[in-house]
Amino acid sequence: MQLQNRIAYLSIFTAATISLFIIESFIPQPVPGIRLGLANIFILLVLLNYEFKEAMIVGILKSIVGSLIIGRLLSPSFLLSISGTVVSITVMTVAVRYIRGISLVGISILGAESHIITQLLLTSSLFLGKASFNYLLPPFVLLSLITGSITGMIAYLLYSKIEGRIEVSETS
């Protein structure tokens, strides 16, 4: 029964993550490449309630299935999305495991910053030229600080409501 609960909760988190990714794609972006990252709320919750592997699976499914549904699978934005997701989940996992006392907002900010820096490095290297990285970094890091804070605060509010209600079983 515990494995069934684990699969059910992870399925719900995955569906919520993909849904928010799709919904957010319809919100106009005041700055190209900057999104609130609302889908990452549920990736944060998976990371806190489960392990790296489960968070990575949810994140990769978000990028693949979400991009497929909105018609961007295998496009440059898909490459940026999945790369940023993999790096940010890795950074957030390291923060959760090794930075004692870090808040959920802090974890979210680290995820947002690592996501945007990964995207800027790829965009500068593949499309714009390496010099553009130096010009784009300061405003994008500032904007991701704001979006990471918002996402982290929402994740904190949700986590405080569901903490202890999710049955977490050991991986087989």
Mean pLDDT of 61-74: 93
Q: Which CA distances in Å does 104 have to 27, 76, 95, 152?
A: 25, 30, 10, 6
Distance CA 153, CA 104 (A): 8
Query: Which of 171 and 74 is assigned the larger pLDDT?
Result: 74
The model's pLDDT over 92-141, given as tens digits with 9 standing for 90+, comes to 999 999 999 999 999 999 999 999 999 999 988 888 777 788 888 899 99
Full residue range of the structural domain in which residue 82 is found? 2-162
* Count of domains for the chain: 1
**Non-local CB neighbours of 14 within 8 Å, separated by 6+ positions:** 42, 57, 58, 61, 62
Asked whether residue 89 is domain-assigned, the answer is yes
Q: How many CB atoms are located within 10 Å of the residue 28 CB?
A: 4
Asked whether residue 168 is domain-assigned, the answer is no
Asked whether residue 169 is domain-assigned, the answer is no
Asked whether residue 167 is domain-assigned, the answer is no
Let me know: does 34 contact 143? Beta carbons within 8 Å. Answer: yes
pTM of the full structure: 0.87
Average per-residue pLDDT in the chain? 89
Asked whether residue 54 is domain-assigned, the answer is yes
Dig out the tokens for 135 from the structure. Answer: 């010009």
Q: How many CB atoms are located within 10 Å of the residue 130 CB?
A: 9
The reported pLDDT for the residue numbered 93 is 96
119-126 contacts: CB < 8 A, separation 24 or more? 119/33, 119/80, 119/83, 119/84, 122/79, 122/80, 122/83, 123/33, 123/80, 126/76
The reported pLDDT for the residue numbered 125 is 85
The maximal CA–CA distance of the chain, rounded, in angstroms, is 55
Over 50: is that where the pLDDT of 65 sits? yes
Instruction: Give the CATH number of the domain where residue 12 resides.
Output: 1.10.1760.20
Asked whether residue 170 is domain-assigned, the answer is no
Distance CA 165, CA 163 (A): 6
Q: Which CA distances in Å does 13 have to 7, 32, 116?
A: 10, 27, 23
Mark out the alpha helices in the chain (DSSP H runs): 2-25, 40-49, 52-70, 76-98, 104-123, 131-162
